[in-house]
Homo-oligomer: A and B are copies of this chain.
Amino acid sequence: MTGAATAGIRAPRFAERLARARAAAGAAGLDALLIGVGPELRYLAGYAALPLERLTLLVVPAAPGSPLTLIAPRLEATPARSCPAAATGAVTVATWEETEDPMALVASVLATATGRAADSLSAVAVSDGMRAAFVLSLQGALPVARFSLASAVLRGLRMRKDSDEVALLREAAHAADRVVEAIAHGPLVGRTEADVAREVRDRLVAEGHEHAEFWIVASGPNSASPHHDAGDRVIAAGEPVVIDIGGQMGGYGSDITRTIWVDGGDPALGPDADFARLYEVLRDAQAAATAAVRPGVAAEAIDAVARDAITAAGFGPNFIHRTGHGIGLEGHEDPYIVAGNAEPLETAMAFSVEPGIYLEGRFGARIEDTVVCGPDGPDVLNELTRELLVVRG
C-alpha cells in the first residue's frame, strides 16, 4: 500500500511522462503542477504513497530544465526515494521534519524552480484529489496564484494508455473474469450477499489483485439499486443477482459486471418473461455500444447507442446512469462515456461500457466490460460471456 513501485510499468516511462506533463503545464500557462498523493503521483513518479495527513507533494515547474522535486515527510524518505522517478534521478526528494511547516519548504522549492518568489506566482494546478486541507494551505502560501485542476493538463496524457498500461488492464480484466466465473458456479441459494462479497474479495486477491476495491452483490429487488452495498439479504432461487466487482493489479483497475439468475436447479424458477426481455434488451444495447467504439467517435455517441436501444424498448427512464467511465490508475477517470462529452475517442483510451436497466422495487440488470479503443474498433478486455449466467444451486 505504500512506496511500492508500479509493477509492470518500465522505469524510463516516468521521465517521459514528467517531460510531457511539464510541457503541457507550460502550454497551459501554468507556473507549476502541484501533485499530491493519488493516482497522478503514481502516474508521474510511480509512487503509491500513503494518503497521510502529512504533506507529500510533487512539484513540477513548467520551465524546461528546472528541477523536479518530490517533497515528502522525513518519515516517508525511504519509500519516496525508492519510487522509480526518484530512483532513476528524474526527481529529487526533499524532506521536511515532523515539527516543521511543510508550506515553507513548498515555497522555497517553488522559488528555486521558478526563479520567482512563491507569493508572486500567478497560476498553479493542483491534483484533483488533493485534500482540501492542503489546497487551502497552498492557497495561503501562494496568495496571488490562480488555482486550477491538474487534470486539465494531465487528462490528455493519462487517457491514452501506453502498452505497459494496457497489458496491466488486460491482466486485471482476465483475473476479474475468473472471479465472476467462479462465483457463477455457485452455490448462491441460502447465502447472504455479504458472504458472497467476502468470497469475491478473497478471490480477487487470490487471482493476483493487490486488493479488492468494490464488491457489489445485489440480489432480488436490491439489483435495482446500481450501487447497492452487499448486505444481510439471503439469496433465494428465482431471482437475479448483479455482481459488479473490481480491484487493482499493478495499480491498474479491473471492473466487470455480470448479471446472474439463480434458479436453484428448478427450471420453473428461471427468469420470468419480463426479466428475460429486459436482459435481452440490455445485452443487445451493451453489445451495440461496444461495437460502436472506434477512434473519432464521440464519447457521448457511445452512450447514445446504448441509451437509444434501451429507450426504443421502453426502458429509457430505467437507465439512470451514464454508460461508462475511463479506467486506469483510477477506477473512474477520463474519458466519461456520457451525454455532453463530445470528446472523440482515440486509440488506447480505456473505459467501461456498462448500461443497466433498473425497475425499482422489482429487479435490475447491468452488463459491464472494460474496453480499449483500438485503431479499428473495440478491444474488449473481458472475455467472460455476456449471456445471462444461470446458477443452479
| Chain A residues with a Cβ under 8 A of chain B | 1-4, 36, 50, 52-53, 74-76, 78-79, 98-99, 126-136, 147-149, 151, 198, 201-202, 205, 214-215, 225-229, 231, 320-322, 332, 338-340
Contact = CB atoms under 8 A, between A and B. Distances in A.
A322 to B, nearest CB: 6
A99 B323 CA distance: 12
A129 B131 contact: yes
A3 B320 contact: no
Contacts of A321: 75, 98
A315 to B, nearest CB: 16
A128 B203 CA distance: 35
A317 to B, nearest CB: 12
A149 B132 contact: yes
B130 A131 contact: yes
A245 to B, nearest CB: 12
B74 A320 contact: yes
Given A98-B320, A98-B322, A226 B75 contact: yes
B338 A99 contact: yes
A322 B99 CA distance: 9
Nearest to A51: B129
A135 B135 CA distance: 8
Contacts of A128: 131-133
A205 B50 CA distance: 21
Contacts of A3: 227-229
B198 A205 contact: yes
A148 to B, nearest CB: 7
B149 A79 contact: no
- Name the residue among A129, A202, A214, A322 with the largest chain B CB count within 10 angstroms: A129
A148 B131 contact: no
17 contacts: A1-B215, A2-B229, A3-B228, A3-B229, A50-B214, A78-B227, A79-B225, A98-B320, A98-B338, A128-B133, A129-B132, A129-B133, A130-B131, A131-B132, A132-B134, A133-B149, A202-B202
A1 B131 CA distance: 20
Given A2-B229, A4-B229, 16 more contacts: A1-B214, A1-B229, A2-B228, A52-B332, A79-B229, A98-B338, A99-B338, A99-B340, A128-B132, A129-B131, A129-B132, A131-B131, A132-B132, A133-B149, A133-B151, A135-B136
A198 B205 CA distance: 9
B129 A136 contact: no
Contact of A78 (B36, B74, B136, B228): B228
A229 B49 CA distance: 10
Contacts of A322: 98
A226 B75 CA distance: 7
Contacts of A214: 1, 50
A134 B131 CA distance: 10
A201 B206 CA distance: 13
A227 B79 contact: yes
A79 to B, nearest CB: 7
Contacts of A52: 332
Nearest to A75: B321
Nearest to A133: B128
